[in-house]
Amino acid sequence: MLFKVHEKLGRYAREKQYGDLFAEYLLAEHIKFNREKIVSRTSLDINKPDFTIEDCIVVEFKAKSFIIKEDDYQTMRYLEIVKMKLGMIVNFRQRYLKPKRIINSKATS
């Protein structure tokens, strides 16, 4: 589905547009997901991953030139908060889509 989104919208859409189309595909396939659901709230910030799918995968969408370490840390933080094992960072700005996996080794299977 991620590749379909990338193929349909190209490299220069906004993160929200990628998310909207991805959500449409998930709904069409009857896949359970939450979008930007608050998983933790502190006095300093609110944590909302772009998608949690089937209560086991966190997916973060980006539309920028390159992924930085802070993106990895943010995704790992979401995984630790929701106690999930697998996260993905998808940067749609790249010419060839290469989702990056983030593994939370502290999560129980």
The DSSP code sequence of 17-48 is HHHHHHHHHHHHTT--EEES---EE-SS-EE-
Q: What integer pLDDT is reported at residue 74 of this predicted model? A: 92
Question: pLDDT tier at 102 (50, 70, 90 boundaries)?
Answer: very high
Contact yes or no for 22/57 (Cβ under 8 A)? no
Assigned domain for 109 exists: no
Assigned domain for 56 exists: yes
Assigned domain for 85 exists: yes
Q: What integer pLDDT is reported at residue 43 of this predicted model? A: 67
Among the listed residues 82, 88, 91, 84, the one whose alpha carbon sits nearest the alpha carbon of residue 101: 88
Assigned domain for 33 exists: yes
Number of domains comprising the chain = 1
Give me the percent of the chain exceeding a pLDDT of 90.
81
Assigned domain for 108 exists: no
List the domain range (segments joined by +) for residue 18: 2-103
| pLDDT (tens digit per residue) in 70-93 | 999 999 999 998 899 999 999 999
Q: What CATH number has the domain bearing residue 86?
A: 3.90.320.10
pLDDT at 34 over 90: yes
Calpha distance 12→26 (Å, rounded): 22
| pLDDT (tens digit per residue) in 12-25 | 999 999 999 999 99
Assigned domain for 91 exists: yes
Question: pLDDT tier at 109 (50, 70, 90 boundaries)?
Answer: low
Question: pLDDT tier at 9 (50, 70, 90 boundaries)?
Answer: very high
Phi-psi label, residue 83: left if phi above 0, alpha if psi -120 to 50, beta otherwise: left
